[in-house]
Amino acid sequence: SALSSITDLYLENQKISGEIPSDFLDSAPSQEKVTVDLTNNKIGGKVPENLAAINRLTLLLTDNRITEVSSELCDAIKDSSWMGGQVNDYGCHALMCPPGKFAPVEGRHTSDGGCQDCPENALHWGASVCEADDGSGEESTDDREILSKFYKALGGQYWRKNTHWLNPKVDVCDWHGIECDDSEENVIRIDLKNNGLDGNVPSDVWKLEKLEDLVLASNSLESISFDGADKADNLRFLDLTQTDLVSITGIGALKDTPIKVLKLSSNTYEDDSPAETFDITHLRELYLAHTKWSGAIPAKIGVMTNLETFDCYGNDLNGQIPSEMGLLTSLQNLLMSENQFEGVLPQELNALTDLETLSMHQTNSDAGVGGKLLDFKNLRKLTKLYLDSNKFTGALPATLLENTERGDKRIEIYLSGNKFQGSIPTDWADRFDNLVVDLSDNEINELPDEFCENEEVLEWMNGNVE
């Protein structure tokens, strides 16, 4: 309100919410041309009547959540030069179409056309799309109809790229981000990553009968409905990474689909809905990193016997790691670093014979897993072991990875920032040809001469030992 010289303000396509302040633009020049573009935000409430003092205002509020434009404001601007003078011709409809109406593209009456009926838009001024059904009362099952509803619900007119969408002359298989099967009749993949989607994902998307992959990562989704998701009979891949979701309640419905990969990282879930993913027992890859997930890992994780990758990096998980983790015998990658785990490593982890990466460092926490280090002698394929900044104590096990099948490969073992004592076992020299090991910030007090004299050690540390 204090910007006395402002004549141009462009804040379209943001996430601005709340109401327009009652003193908005109070100090703006009243007789100069002023343009304010707030298109496609989340602004609600009433348009302030004080704005009528600006005689040549162009105020663009299309696709917000405006619920009131008073008759007093409309009367005050009817003889002004608002909206380039169009209020003289079309009244307040030149500002925005009222509830129950819409106008394509601009959401207001212009020289290109007026406001059209849209009973479904019962609340808000300025709608540029109408989500009306076809009047039949039947659910949408045609792929074009389903995608059209998807487009409207997620602000398709503002996407970064929406080539051919809703064009009646173009097959849906040629719409941007859509892939069809060989018959060119059924949608099998939607990939709209980082494309400016904003809104609520409608449950109709699960009605795409042949849909296999749904990629919506790096967008701004207010919610996603899993109603009817159990009918997605061909779904195999779902990516909702970094989509601003605060809940995935209902995601357990995917247990009745053939989904194999579920990516849910980099969201801030405000409930325990991530635990619902453990109902989907046939998953092979589950990504839940950086989600603020807190509490203990439920023992129920033991039913996820098909998991090959489990990633819960960078959360607020705490307590003892459940022994049921040892039941996940298909695991290849177990990524649990930067949490608040305590207790000891369960002996059952030695049953994970396919494991290649075990990551559990906790550099950002005062917590830590303690006790003696397991020797992981049954983990024949392990090549990456990251346990730095925990609270392990005692001697380094001479039998560490004793039965490894990868001794001639590069193996990384990071154990810095613990409380290991004693000597580096000489047995390691004969076991590993190309070891990168970090034992800094421990209490190691001996490096045996015979250890350094072993020729096998010369290739360690990227060849720097030699």
Across the chain, mean pLDDT equals 92
**Residue 135: pLDDT band with limits 50, 70, 90:** very low
Higher per-residue confidence, 141 vs 42: 42
Phi-psi region of 135 (alpha: psi -120 to 50; beta: other; left: phi over 0): left
List pLDDT tens digits, range 240-275: 999 999 999 999 999 999 999 999 999 999 999 999
Q: Which of 128, 99, 93, 98 is nearest to 111 (CA)?
A: 93
The secondary structure of the chain in percent helix, strand, coil, rounded to multiples of 5, reads 20, 25, 55
Q: Which has the minimum average pLDDT: 113-127, 321-335, 369-383, 430-444? A: 113-127
Q: Which has the minimum average pLDDT: 7-11, 325-329, 365-369, 453-457? A: 453-457
pLDDT at 217 over 80: yes
List pLDDT tens digits, range 155-167: 999 999 999 999 9
3-state secondary structure of 153: helix
Residues 6 or more apart whose CB falls under 8 angstroms from that of 267 comprise 240, 241, 242, 243, 244, 245, 246, 290, 291
Q: What is the predicted pLDDT for the residue at 403?
A: 95
Residue written as token pair 């009244």: 91
Q: What is the predicted pLDDT for the residue at 225?
A: 94
Q: What is the predicted pLDDT for the residue at 97?
A: 94
Report the alpha-carbon distance of residue 434 to residue 388 in Å, rounded: 20
Instruction: Please check whether residue 201 is in contact with residue 187, taking contact to mean a CB–CB distance below 8 angstroms.
Output: no
Residue 41 CA: distances (Å) to CA of 49, 53, 158, 198, 363? 20, 24, 11, 10, 39
Q: What is the predicted pLDDT for the residue at 453?
A: 73
pLDDT at 239 over 80: yes
User: What percentage of the chain has pLDDT greater than the value 90?
Assistant: 80
Kindly state the average pLDDT of the residues 412-429.
94
Number of separate helices (H) and strands (E) present in the chain? 5, 29
Instruction: Please check whether residue 342 is in contact with residue 320, taking contact to mean a CB–CB distance below 8 angstroms.
Output: yes
Strands 187-191 vs 178-180: parallel, antiparallel or unpaired? antiparallel
Q: How many CA atoms lie within 13 A of 204 on its CB side?
A: 21
Kindly state the average pLDDT of the residues 205-226.
96
pTM above 0.85, yes or no: no
**Residue 1: pLDDT band with limits 50, 70, 90:** low
Instruction: Please check whether residue 189 is in contact with residue 149, taking contact to mean a CB–CB distance below 8 angstroms.
Output: no
Report the alpha-carbon distance of residue 95 to residue 74 in Å, rounded: 9
User: What percentage of the chain has pLDDT greater than the value 70?
Assistant: 97
Q: What is the predicted pLDDT for the residue at 134?
A: 40
Residue 442 CA: distances (Å) to CA of 193, 207, 395, 419, 452? 44, 57, 11, 5, 19
Q: Which has the minimum average pLDDT: 102-111, 154-163, 390-399, 446-455? A: 446-455
List pLDDT tens digits, range 352-389: 999 999 999 998 888 999 999 999 999 999 999 999 99
Return the structure tokens found at 125.
């001024």
List pLDDT tens digits, range 317-354: 999 999 999 999 999 999 999 999 999 999 999 999 99
**Residue 83: pLDDT band with limits 50, 70, 90:** very high
Return the structure tokens found at 404.
């490894």
**Residue 133: pLDDT band with limits 50, 70, 90:** very low
Q: Which of 118, 121, 95, 99 is nearest to 108 (CA)?
A: 95
List pLDDT tens digits, range 288-315: 999 999 999 999 999 999 999 999 999 9
Instruction: Please check whether residue 129 is in contact with residue 152, taking contact to mean a CB–CB distance below 8 angstroms.
Output: yes
Count CB neighbours of 170 within 10 A: 12
Instruction: Please check whether residue 410 is in contact with residue 436, taking contact to mean a CB–CB distance below 8 angstroms.
Output: yes
Q: What is the predicted pLDDT for the residue at 139?
A: 52
Residues 6 or more apart whose CB falls under 8 angstroms from that of 201 comprise 150, 153, 154, 216, 221, 223, 224, 225
Q: How many CA atoms lie within 13 A of 40 on its CB side?
A: 21
What is the DSSP secondary structure assignment for residue 305, as one 8-state letter? T
Q: What is the predicted pLDDT for the residue at 140?
A: 54
Kindly state the average pLDDT of the residues 440-453.
84
- The amino acid occupying position 201 is V
Q: What is the predicted pLDDT for the residue at 213?
A: 98
pLDDT at 126 over 90: yes
Instruction: Please check whether residue 276 is in contact with residue 264, taking contact to mean a CB–CB distance below 8 angstroms.
Output: no
Kindly state the average pLDDT of the residues 435-454.
86
